[in-house]
Amino acid sequence: MSFRLALFACIAVGMAPAAQAAQFNFCWQGAGGYTMTGVIGFPDAALSKSVVTERDVTRFEITGYENLIAVGRWTLADRKAGSTFHVRFDPNTLTFPTGGSFPGDASQGWNADGDVTDCGSKGFGFNSGNYAQDICLYGVWMDRSSIHPETPMLVTTGPVSPDCRGIDALS
């Protein structure tokens, strides 16, 4: 390959558009003063799927609050072998299906399984199953955070705040 051809190839690769990623913010309002904000990201190509799962997700972050004070955080970078990461996101309705048996098509497990006790001694996690939506903090199920299992979660492209107010929900 000539030098010019190699140079042209390098320039062409550098000018190729970067892969686009869909990104959404969400906010959850639990009971007992508990809330959670988060971000989910995945390749734009997954927007055409009927359900985005953990296999598609390239960015995921959640932060939990008690009375608007941060009490825990978890990201994909924090994921350890054996950590629960069960995601179901409908990109057509921009909703996280909730209220089903765990793990299933209408449940969520973000560093917390169906018992909400496996988020680690310094961890934070969220679970939505057929019993409730709730959080795990420092390896303990925070039962006072529990809300009805089919409660919708607010999803938006705009910013979210720990109080979940002023959000223009897309779903």
**Residue % of the chain over a pLDDT of 70:** 85
What would the DSSP string read from start to end of 72-97?
EEEEGGG--TT--EE-EEBTTTTB--
Q: What is the pLDDT of residues 72-126, one digit of tens each?
A: 999 999 998 888 999 999 999 999 999 999 889 999 999 998 888 888 777 899 9
The alpha-carbon radius of gyration of the chain (Å, integer) is 19
> What distance in Å separates the CA atoms of residue 129 and residue 90, rounded to the nearest whole number?
16
Paired with 38 in beta bridges are 26, 62
Q: What is the pLDDT of residues 32-56, one digit of tens each?
A: 999 999 999 999 999 999 999 999 9
Give 169's Cβ-side CA count (13 Å radius): 14
